[in-house]
Chains A and B, each alone.
Chain A
Amino acid sequence: KCYQTKRSQKKDTNRANIIGLISFDGSVLYLSVHEDTVIRLHCCAVEVFFGCAFIAFGPSFALFVFTIAKDPLRVIILIAGAFFWLLSLLLSSLVWFIAIKASNSQDLTLQRGLLIFGVFFSVLLQEVFRFAYYRLLRKATEGLAAISDDDGSAISVRQMAYVAGLGFGIMSGAFSMINILSDSLGPGTVGIFGDSQYYFITAALMTLALTLLHTFWGVVFFEGCEKSRWWVIAAVVSLHLLVAGLSLLNPLYEGSLPPVYVITLATGVWAFFSSGGSLHSLSALCTRRKAEGESS
């Protein structure tokens, strides 16, 4: 399905009158609109597909390959985390769908308001399911520990927190991005009706930020639950709501992307310190690597 068709549902107040085609160099189309105006449009292409795919999924794929793929238990926890995120999405879509069907479909402001309500409700539900997953994993750990005698549990709560967060992140990213990626392979023109031309790349960047954020939130959240620090949970929920709220500013990308990345960085640092890292361990890592490099 052509990407254009989705966008054409918006009001096309900026429809351009195309007079003629000036040039086309394989990915950029130059159209003359009026006598003195030229529009430069980017066509969707394979480069866009690969670029956006690698931006959105590169880090999470790398994390999966290097830290999760070797351990079967972690793979299972990852997929179960993805399943829990999916459940939360299902329930929130159900609520949104009921609200939509019960309301007047002609009233666009109402529809948009309901969508925003859907966004926030979905965020809350995701956090509820994160907590539910935490409880499930705790029970499972206790069960495993009770049975195996010698080496205790095969996986620690911190590792499970990381894996669960990554599971949420990967599933969230996949659901946001995969349809867009498949559309980017096909024919179409971005922003022909005046929308932003940076749709794909901002979508990919936002997906990447959200994936990382889910991972960090998973770590912090589980740690907070373990230590019964409820302010941590409240902080995670409000950060998630904040990020979702910032995304509501789209397509004003300056308003949404940089703050989201700042939040990602900050949450990453928080997760690092919360899971037991410290500046000392960082410096030890660097010096040990240097020592290993010198000795080898």
Chain B
Amino acid sequence: MNTSDSEEDSYNERSALVQCESPTIPSYHQDHDMSLPQETDTKRGRPVSSGLDEPGLVERERAATPDGEEEELTLKYGAKHVIMLFIPVTLCMVVVVATIKSVSFYTEKTSQQLIYTPFKEDPNSVGQRLLYSLLNTIVMISVIVVMTIILVVLYKYRCYKFIHGWLILSSLMLLFWFSFMYLGEVFKTYNVAMDYPTLAMIIWNFGVVGMICIHWKGPLRLQQAYLIVISALMALIFIKYLPEWSAWVILAAISIYDLIAVLCPKGPLRMLVETAQERNEPIFPALIYSSAMVWMVGMADSNNPDSADERQRNEGGALAQEGVESEDDVALGGRRRCSAEEDLEEDRGVKLGLGDFIFYSVLVGKAAANGGDWNTTLACFVAILIGLCLTLLLLAIFKKALPALPISITFGLVFYFSTDNLVRPFMDSLAAHQYYI
């Protein structure tokens, strides 16, 4: 197998994935919170393809209530949402760290690199290494920017089929090719004898069920599990193929890019979001992890005659016609007719882009890959969780789509470098003498 050729394809796929990290849905949904029911069933019911990674949008759905009650409900439900995101982020990191620690393939440095990081780092010269990692970062970020702009242009000119096809192709690549590679390496590590027909059946079933769950309909837990798995796979690929120093600089740069792209008025992601809002349509609920547990119906209130409200009612009707078959919907169909107050108490979900999962896991995975120190990994893990918590707190305060990368990645990077260089020698000396603090 000529790995370099297959790498080309995977690079394209990766660029496709990284690119599609346009957090289209979130702020759109933010505004349509008042009305749009946010549940994965509806999402799956829509004819969307899900290839979008969203590196940084976190969003939360609100009930359409008067402001004071909204505040209270927001804070009351806030903790639950934070935990609903902590668990998948933790699971993804655990998968990545477990793989890194056991399967040596992902920590072996090859001379192969992605085409997005064309400069090879020379380990001997610090200055040159720094310069090349900066250049690699510039190349990668410009690729991301260019592709986001292409996506925005495509979206503006309504080339939906193209985008959908692109996204389906990228998730195909992830579910079949990367998981095949992963399984192969796991078998090699544990010396498991496996024949090709069995492997083909396993991969085929895994991939097809994954495509159905992600792009169409499936049980919520299964969809969440698949999203976590493909984020972990993607993170492992990044950990393997990004050069050492470039990876750290890219992490820092992409959180800055995320900040700019989501918050600045002329940022590509923001423009995408605004276009979607103007058109009043859902943008690709692609690769976004949704933690919504219960389908919530918005205020079917005659006092709120928004067009958005009507839209929600229409969608509710469409949903009934589509005949979504999960048991939630059956129960929820009944609930749809309930009073407005009851609707308010329904659970609301939070969404986090898969790009966030990927980059969090890259950070923690690299911390685990460098040396055998577990303290560093643990410190990065706690730092990222706290960053996510703070981001969600800000989300509750500002109530608009926010980038989820900057705070967590900053904390993670600070804690990685300080734990690795300062805390590690201290704890090692303490352990050697068995002193306890």
Contacts and interface: CB of A to CB of B under 8 A. Distances in A.
B422 A86 contact: no
B86 interface: yes
Contact of B437 (A1, A73, A119): A119
Interface string A180-204: 1010000000000000000100110
B374 A182 contact: yes
A240 B373 CA distance: 27
B80 A72 contact: yes
Contacts of B435: 115-116, 119, 244, 247-248, 250
B1 interface: no
A76 B389 CA distance: 8
Contacts of A72: 79-80, 82-83
Contacts of B83: 72, 75-76
25 contacts: A6-B428, A9-B432, A79-B382, A79-B389, A83-B386, A86-B382, A86-B415, A89-B423, A90-B419, A90-B423, A93-B418, A97-B422, A115-B429, A115-B430, A119-B435, A148-B76, A149-B72, A154-B76, A175-B375, A176-B436, A179-B427, A179-B428, A202-B434, A243-B436, A247-B435
B265 to A, nearest CB: 31
Contact of B434 (A89, A94, A199, A210): A199
A290 B117 CA distance: 70
Interface in B393-437: 415, 418-419, 421-423, 425-437
B378 A73 contact: no
Contacts of B373: 179
User: Which residue, of B80, B378, B425, has the highest number of chain A Cβ atoms within 10 A?
Assistant: B378
Given A72-B83, A75-B83, A1 B436 contact: no
A90 B419 CA distance: 7
A148 B75 contact: yes
B190 to A, nearest CB: 16
A73 B79 contact: yes
Contacts of B79: 72-73, 76, 154
B379 interface: yes
A144 to B, nearest CB: 6
Contacts of B423: 89-90, 93, 175
Contacts of B421: 97
A7 interface: yes
A244 B437 contact: yes
Interface of A: 1, 6-7, 9-10, 72-73, 75-76, 79-80, 82-83, 86, 89-90, 92-94, 96-97, 100, 112, 115-116, 118-119, 122-123, 126, 144, 147-149, 154, 171-172, 174-176, 178-180, 182, 199, 202-203, 206-207, 210, 243-244, 247-248, 250-251
B197 interface: no
B437 A148 contact: no
A75 B433 contact: no
Contact of B72 (A93, A147, A179): A147
A209 to B, nearest CB: 9
B372 interface: yes
Contact of A86 (B80, B379, B389): B379
B375 A179 contact: yes
A25 to B, nearest CB: 27
B71 interface: yes
B422 A79 contact: no
B430 A76 contact: no
Given A179-B373, A203-B431, 16 more contacts: A6-B431, A72-B79, A76-B79, A83-B382, A97-B421, A97-B422, A119-B430, A147-B75, A172-B437, A175-B378, A179-B372, A179-B374, A182-B372, A202-B434, A206-B434, A248-B435
B89 to A, nearest CB: 12
Interface in B309-336: none
Nearest to A210: B436
A42 to B, nearest CB: 17
A244 B437 CA distance: 5
B433 to A, nearest CB: 7
Contact of B418 (A83, A94, A202, A203): A94
Contacts of B86: 75, 79
Contacts of A9: 432
B96 interface: no
